[in-house]
């Protein structure tokens, strides 16, 4: 059996942005027939919401575009995740700096360095962060979904090319 490529999406709470990225990317991977080759997970840098399902507003925005986030449960990212995952993808710069601290603590056994999820967007002027929608309105959740769909396509292309899938 071929080795799998493992992708971890990380935000602050693991109830809005990273579960959205997780659910969107999973559906795209399944549609590409790559579900047995790409493993996906998501986590938060904070512990506030461990064990919780995604925020109802994220679930609603996702459902409107055909994604089901209901089975996902929040967990906190650990340094050991860097020994396990090939891609650790931060939603914003704050997530990225916290991930860099964890990465530094196990650098010798890490499989990757953390990077911004939106770094896969190539177009000039593309944003580099998925904005935190938690304290805002429904439009913010729609924008998270839109950015995740765009970056998920770009990530899947990158993985297919890099790993010859
Ligand atoms: P997320 O959004 O990082 O995209 O899951 C947030 C969820 C919860 C909080 C902040 C952001 N919070 O402060 O509890």
- In this model, does residue 1 exceed pLDDT 60? no
Distances (CA, A) of 104 to 10, 77, 80: 17, 14, 11
Ligand 1 centroid to residue 163 C-alpha, Å: 32
Closest to 151 measured CA to CA, from 112, 111, 132, 123:
123
Q: For 117-132, how does the pLDDT look when each residue is reduced to its tens digit (9 = 90+)? A: 999 999 999 999 999 9
Which residue among the candidates 41, 55, 92, 132 is catalytic per the annotation?
132
Ligand 1 centroid to residue 17 C-alpha, Å: 8
Q: What pLDDT, on the 0 to 100 scale, is given for residue 2?
A: 61
- In this model, does residue 88 exceed pLDDT 80? yes
Q: What pLDDT, on the 0 to 100 scale, is given for residue 3?
A: 84
Name all residues whose Cβ lies below 6 A of ligand 1.
Answer: 11-17, 44, 48, 132, 134
pTM: 0.98
Tell me, yes or no, if 17 is annotated catalytic: yes
């Amino acid at each position: 059996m071929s080795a799998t490529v493992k992708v971890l999406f990380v935000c602050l709470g693991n109830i809005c942005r990273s579960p959205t990225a997780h659910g969107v990317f999973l559906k795209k991977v399944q549609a590409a027939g790559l579900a047995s080759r790409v493993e996906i997970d998501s986590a938060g840098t904070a512990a506030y919401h461990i064990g919780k399902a995604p925020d109802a507003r994220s679930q609603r925005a996702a459902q409107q575009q055909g994604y089901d986030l209901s089975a996902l449960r929040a967990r906190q990212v650990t340094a050991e995740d860097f020994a396990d995952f090939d891609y650790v993808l931060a939603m914003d710069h704050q997530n990225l700096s916290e991930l860099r601290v964890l990465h530094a603590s196990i650098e010798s056994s890490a499989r990757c360095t953390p990077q911004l999820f939106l770094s896969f967007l190539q177009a000039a002027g593309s944003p580099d962060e998925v904005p935190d929608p938690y304290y805002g309105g429904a439009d913010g959740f729609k924008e998270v979904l839109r950015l995740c769909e765009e970056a998920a396509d770009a990530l899947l292309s990158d993985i297919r090319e890099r790993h010859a899938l």
